[in-house]
Amino acid sequence: MAGWCNKKVIGLSPMDGVTDASFRAIIDKYGSPDVLFTEFLSVEAIVNGSINSLLPFVREKSETPTIAQVYGLDLPSYILATLLVLELGFDGIDINMGCPAKSIAYHGAGAGLIQNPSHAKQIIKTVQTTFLDWKNGLRLKSGQLKPAKFEWIKQNRIKRSKIDNFPVSIKTRIGYDTSTVQSWISHLLECEPYAITIHGRTLKQMYKDKSDWNEIHKAVVLAKNSNTKIIGNGDIKSAGQANNKIKKYDLDGVLIGRASMGNPWIFKSIVPTPYTRLTVALEHARQFEKLTPSGNFQSLRKHFAWYSKGFDYAASVRNKLMHVNTYSEVKTILDPYFLLLKEK
Ligand SMILES: Cc1cc2nc3c(=O)[nH]c(=O)nc-3n(C[C@H](O)[C@H](O)[C@H](O)COP(=O)(O)O)c2cc1C
């Protein structure tokens, strides 16, 4: 694979607390997007955190390119994080420079990097050169990570045949408190990243107002004579809208985030029946237990709320699922509804 964006792509946007291995497996099976992104993981946590902090990078089996997203500031930690991502067999690494959360951006990481382009560029170059070193034989060494993490890597890696190419991409916003696409994206392009995904809001806007696709298009113009792909993001609610945005703004692709919650079918423009929605909710629970047995089942409850919308009995299903802790509890609750909703 030469890269994950060889054609116009419609992909799953990274979402912390949402795009874990079980959700990606479900999205992949029922939506077949062109690319999947993990939740983000701090490079510092990769190095110093517990084994459980690696859960966002648990691998589901998939033919679809899957990109590991990282964030943070510490350059030596970026080196180790890149080596770990390579060991796990991901199809690329994405550096988050767009997260507006105070706990991240106010420390200078995520969207905080928009105000510190020189450090942002150092991060990109560090990750890119780590891949070159990896091609020349550099590997994680004992002592650099806790011994249990090496065991974890062995259990979770998906071997790729030969890695000639390792796309390093960025996900960011149009600016910090005002749009600064011209200068900010020009800085990023100096490093020749594989792709830049741009959410059309500033950090200050958080999720207010609309994603500004004219600002995203300015990045397309800037990148015209480069090899960097420009991916748009923000407020897409259907595959039709995704295709329209790609055409209208001359993009290499788009990522869909919130509209995929409880709706893996969005990528295929399929409207599922209530029976199918609940079948997939149950399958999601099974995947969660299988892929992340040490994960907290509570984090699945929001998914159940998203699946249980817009049909008879939805409110009662939703309420009951808000207290579940295991797959078998989910099954016990859903079984009577399968009978009620069974299609003739
Ligand atoms: C719950 C949640 C978690 C998110 N976590 C991440 C993340 O880990 N990394 C990232 O780059 N963006 C993250 N985002 C931003 C989304 O990827 C996306 O850029 C944003 O939601 C706009 O796209 P949408 O309108 O299609 O949702 C998150 C968004 C939400 C709603």
Same domain for 122 and 194, yes or no, is: yes
Residue 244 lies in a domain: yes
258 labelled ligand-binding: yes
Report the pLDDT value the prediction gives residue 86, as an integer from 0 to 100: 97
* Percentages of the chain per state (helix, strand, coil), in multiples of 5: 50, 15, 35
Domain CATH number, residue 150: 3.20.20.70
Long-range contacts of 112-116, Cβ-Cβ distance < 8 Å, separation of 24 or more: 112/203, 113/172, 114/172, 114/173, 114/175, 114/176, 114/180, 114/184, 114/203, 115/176
Mean pLDDT of the region 305-319: 95
Same domain for 127 and 178, yes or no, is: yes
Same domain for 202 and 300, yes or no, is: no
Nearest to 124 by CA among 160, 88, 171: 171
pLDDT of 1 strictly over 60: no
Q: Is residue 191 annotated as a catalytic residue, yes or no? A: no
Mean pLDDT of the region 239-259: 98
Same domain for 103 and 201, yes or no, is: yes
pLDDT of 343 strictly over 80: no
Choosing from 15, 40, 233 the residue with most ligand 1 atoms within 8 A of its CB, the one to mutate for a pocket test is 15
Report the pLDDT value the prediction gives residue 159, as an integer from 0 to 100: 83
Ligand 1 centroid, distance to 337 Cα (angstroms): 32
Same domain for 290 and 187, yes or no, is: no
- Quickly state the pLDDT bin for 164 (edges 50, 70, 90): confident
Count of Cβ atoms closer than 10 Å to residue 214 Cβ: 11
Same domain for 160 and 295, yes or no, is: no
Asked if 268 contacts 24 with a C-beta cutoff of 8 angstroms, the reply is no
Same domain for 312 and 171, yes or no, is: no
Report the pLDDT value the prediction gives residue 344, as an integer from 0 to 100: 61
Ligand 1 centroid, distance to 20 Cα (angstroms): 13
Asked if 6 contacts 27 with a C-beta cutoff of 8 angstroms, the reply is no
Q: Is 91 in the pocket of ligand 1 (CB under 6 A)?
A: no
What average pLDDT does the chain have? 96
Q: What is the ipTM of this complex?
A: 1.00
Residue 1 lies in a domain: no
Q: Which domain holds residue 38?
A: 9-268
> For 190-221, how does the pLDDT look when each residue is reduced to its tens digit (9 = 90+)?
999 999 999 999 999 999 999 999 999 999 99
Same domain for 142 and 248, yes or no, is: yes
> For 88-114, how does the pLDDT look when each residue is reduced to its tens digit (9 = 90+)?
999 999 999 999 999 999 999 999 999
Same domain for 154 and 14, yes or no, is: yes
Same domain for 320 and 202, yes or no, is: no
User: Which of 239, 268, 297 finishes a domain?
Assistant: 268
Residue 302 lies in a domain: yes
Mean pLDDT of the region 322-337: 97
User: Which of 241, 268, 295 finishes a domain?
Assistant: 268
Same domain for 31 and 75, yes or no, is: yes
Take residue 338 and report the two structure tokens written for it. 């399968």
Q: Is 14 in the pocket of ligand 1 (CB under 6 A)?
A: yes
The H or E element containing residue 243 is: helix 239-248
Ligand 1 centroid, distance to 15 Cα (angstroms): 5
Same domain for 284 and 263, yes or no, is: no
